[in-house]
């Protein structure tokens, strides 16, 4: 765990967590926002949109990157990125989670500025906007318009 986040916890670690619970939680792999990302990828394929790279190695590691058009597409999880509509801060260990989410938001902003300074256009979609088929279609049309504009 990062030093910054450890400072937000009493004694620098989670307390009152049983050894069994700790072991269970440490075995859970991070899956990112895979289901939302896969749904959007399927919509791109259905719409005939091609030419993207997934998790391309540029600042912020966008979920989709269109190198020829210099377009980065991010799919932000509502919880992890602090969605104003449906994101929330847990009531347990609130200072830790508030700091974690705020740090994610600051990193997102820094990556946005860096990518734009490199001439890369950036579009972000909240997880909740991609939950419905109509939301995914809207996202695809938005990306299609940006690709045509380049």
Question: Could you tell me what percent of the chain has a pLDDT over 90?
Answer: 62
| Banded model confidence at residue 52, pLDDT cuts 50, 70, 90 | very high
Fold of 32-148: Endonuclease; Chain A (3.40.960)
Is the model's pLDDT at 115 over the cut of 80? yes
- The string of pLDDT tens digits covering residues 65-92 is 999 999 999 999 999 899 999 988 988 8
Is the model's pLDDT at 6 over the cut of 90? no
Is the model's pLDDT at 107 over the cut of 60? yes
Q: C-alpha distances in angstroms, 116 versus 57, 65, 112, 122, 123?
A: 16, 14, 6, 7, 11
Q: Which of 63, 64, 58 has the alpha carbon at shortest distance from 81?
A: 63
Beta bridge partners of 122: 72
Q: Specify the 3-state DSSP secondary structure of 99.
A: helix
Decide if 71 contacts 146 (C-beta within 8 A): yes
């Amino acid at each position: 765990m990062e030093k910054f986040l450890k400072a937000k916890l009493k004694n620098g670690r989670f307390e009152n967590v049983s050894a069994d619970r700790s072991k269970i939680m440490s075995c859970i792999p991070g899956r990112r926002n895979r289901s939302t990302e896969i749904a959007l990828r399927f919509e791109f394929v259905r719409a005939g949109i091609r030419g993207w790279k997934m998790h391309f190695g540029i600042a912020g590691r966008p979920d989709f990157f269109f190198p020829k058009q210099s377009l980065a597409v991010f799919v932000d999880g509502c919880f992890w990125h602090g969605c104003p509509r449906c994101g929330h801060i847990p009531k347990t260990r609130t200072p830790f989670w508030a700091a974690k989410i705020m740090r994610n938001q600051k990193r997102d902003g820094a990556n946005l500025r860096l990518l734009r300074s490199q001439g890369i256009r950036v579009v972000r979609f909240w997880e909740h906007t991609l939950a419905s088929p109509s939301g995914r279609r809207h996202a695809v049309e938005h990306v299609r318009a940006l690709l045509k504009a380049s």
